[in-house]
Chain A
């Protein structure tokens, strides 16, 4: 008998460690974490804390040195990596768009790979472009370099959503944008995941972003999960590292 809570867990980390032969200290050590269906979990931490590695362990771009990562009840090592990745949307900084593909080809990539009918892919592309606020007629046949940074980032999100995956992984998706564009994209993204009921794991070093988007915030430091709290609990925490983050927020935004 599985415990009752398992049904709600989409991703679970069980004592996961990850290290590289060339690096003395483990990148991730003894990580335990459960991501529930429908939530947006934000992993917060400075560069090199292991948050991106954590993300890559989910879609098996990396496999744990010890412990296991369970996705939809099955360890990633037991998944066919191709099938696993097609069920997980992935968004990285600057979008990672293919420069030689049109916007339509970029967004329609996973449906095409999964063997959808061209007409169905075409409809889906139009639908997604509208969803992320870009006019399909204007953008479908353009190339990524013809778009602004913010538009490229929207395309990145649209591409990740294309095959309607239950889970989205986002690695600093809004990091390279100007503050105004970033703010509006963050708002839209929060609204979008809520509306579509997607589960998302988002990695950032921006505490403001974490507070806006997260249902729960996981603070990472030197490969370990230091704290896992809701934004409200996070702000109230006395943990010294949390205080350090909150102080940068107060310096930047003023006390409200």
Chain B
């Protein structure tokens, strides 16, 4: 599929994402201006506050956006997942340029002009409104312009917390190694940034008094601006209402989350469609990064998300990996009930563990079957691992120690890109997911874990106990799905998405039909 065909097929969704993106940026800038400009004005009046406040805003801007989203998730009112969290983060990022330029603009007003204004008998408010603000407006608009362009960029990250926008395409494109998705997301975001820069540039020129024409023009301009603001406000309110929780139906309402990889989203979609078939209204909050789904589940923003027992055991509960799947499952179930009031569903029937993969031709040439077979090759091999694998106890540190591996080079990269990197000989060994659909299609070979290092990762759903009581259909769906998905099923489903680039909703719908759920 070339890019034009892709656009023809997906233009409706792309427009929706563009709209979400614009509304998020616009609302964020609106809020940031209404906080930042008054703050900036206050700082010109209270010199002592200037250093600390500007410093704080400065620090705010140096926090990496994903980390900031992470901090915000567990917070009440402003946190959680979705567009509200994204807005808070965007506002925080936009404050610095707006506050700083307000201060600079006002302090930059010719002292003799300000002195004349005071000496004419203007009150403080009149000096501010009639002299300082109009003269500083050009500089302030420059600040807003800078903040807007930054916000267009940061908003792409907001997809990681389920806020939508063009980041959805960018993240999905990275994961599926789909250039059309990447291009559509990135190009649109870039065009938005350029357009915002251009339009605000026009505004900036209008506001700087040097270019001011007759007062009639500025009245017209003000009217047009006011109309624009009102229109966008209406759009914003409409958007706000569309992202707010839908009114619960008689069968109840659940929010389902997923992690940011295909399999997790598929499992979430399966639960979602089965619940919808039972009249439950479902809010989909898919493709959340890192530990966000867990945080959101515990804080009550999510009712359910798919997880792996091994991940819960090591990454959430911080236990050292053990080899017995039953023991892991039972302990996770017990501790989740005690600590989080979260129920662990019966296992879904397949395991997903780290699969140590090499190229098929290499495996056949060197007759490699197990990881131990491969360890003599390590010193001349380059390894590629996802960020997750690099950092967790049951990942690289323990793995390399158990097998005594010393690679020529270890690259940390996005997990979904490691498969391609391996197939295209950029690296020689990776740690993938055992249910990854591309293992077969890219001719990769999984080496057996002959020392039983990797703990069992049984797929389960995690669901809040109070959600089970609130929505009875949840319990029924979870027991129907017990042992219902085999490893082959999962590989097949994954491949439909990642390999054949099909729509997850369609794929899940078909699968549920063939399984007669």
Contacts and interface: CB of A to CB of B under 8 A. Distances in A.
Interface of A: 59, 61, 81-86, 88, 90, 92-100, 102, 109-110, 113, 141, 143, 145, 159, 169
Given A113-B126, A143-B212, A96 B121 contact: no
14 contacts: A81-B121, A82-B122, A96-B116, A98-B117, A98-B135, A99-B135, A99-B209, A100-B209, A110-B121, A113-B121, A113-B122, A113-B126, A143-B212, A145-B210
A96 B122 CA distance: 14
Contacts of A96: 112-113, 115-116, 119
B360 interface: no
Contacts of B117: 98
B113 A99 contact: yes
A97 B117 CA distance: 9
Given A113-B126, A143-B212, A98 B119 contact: no
B135 A100 contact: yes
B131 interface: yes
B277 interface: no
A95 B123 CA distance: 20
A61 B212 contact: no
B134 interface: yes
A85 B119 contact: yes
A85 B121 contact: yes
Contacts of B366: none
B190 interface: no
B440 interface: no
For the complex of A and B, the 9 pairs showing the least CB-CB separation, nearest first, are A96-B116, A85-B121, A86-B121, A100-B209, A90-B119, A96-B112, A100-B134, A82-B121, A110-B120
Given A99-B135, A99-B209, A100-B135, A61 B121 contact: no
B118 interface: yes
Interface string B402-438: 0000000000000000000000000000000000000
A141 to B, nearest CB: 8
A91 B284 CA distance: 68
Interface size of B as a range: 20 to 34
A85 B116 contact: no
Nearest to B208: A100
Interface in B101-153: 110, 112-113, 115-123, 126, 130-131, 134-135
A48 B451 CA distance: 88
B120 A90 contact: yes
Contacts of B214: 141
A164 to B, nearest CB: 14
Nearest to B114: A96
Contacts of A99: 110, 113, 135, 209
Contacts of B131: 98
A80 to B, nearest CB: 10
A132 to B, nearest CB: 17
B475 to A, nearest CB: 69
B511 to A, nearest CB: 67
Contact of B112 (A83, A92, A143, A145): A92
Nearest to A86: B121
A64 B362 CA distance: 91
B120 A85 contact: yes
Contacts of A169: 119
A93 B135 contact: no
A145 B212 CA distance: 12
A129 B322 CA distance: 93
A92 B115 contact: yes
Given A83-B121, A113-B121, A90 B116 contact: yes
B118 A85 contact: yes
A141 B215 CA distance: 10
A199 B119 CA distance: 17
B112 A94 contact: yes
A81 B122 CA distance: 10
Nearest to B123: A82
A168 to B, nearest CB: 11
Contact of B115 (A61, A81, A84, A100): A61
A61 B207 CA distance: 30
Interface string B195-227: 000000000000001101011000000000000
Contact of A59 (B119, B210, B212): B119
Most B CB within 10 A of own CB, among A61, A83, A99, A113: A99
Given A113-B126, A143-B212, A97 B120 contact: no
A93 B209 contact: no
Interface string B307-319: 0000000000000
A169 B120 CA distance: 11
A98 B115 contact: no
Given A82-B123, A86-B121, A113-B126, A97 B209 contact: no
A99 B131 CA distance: 9
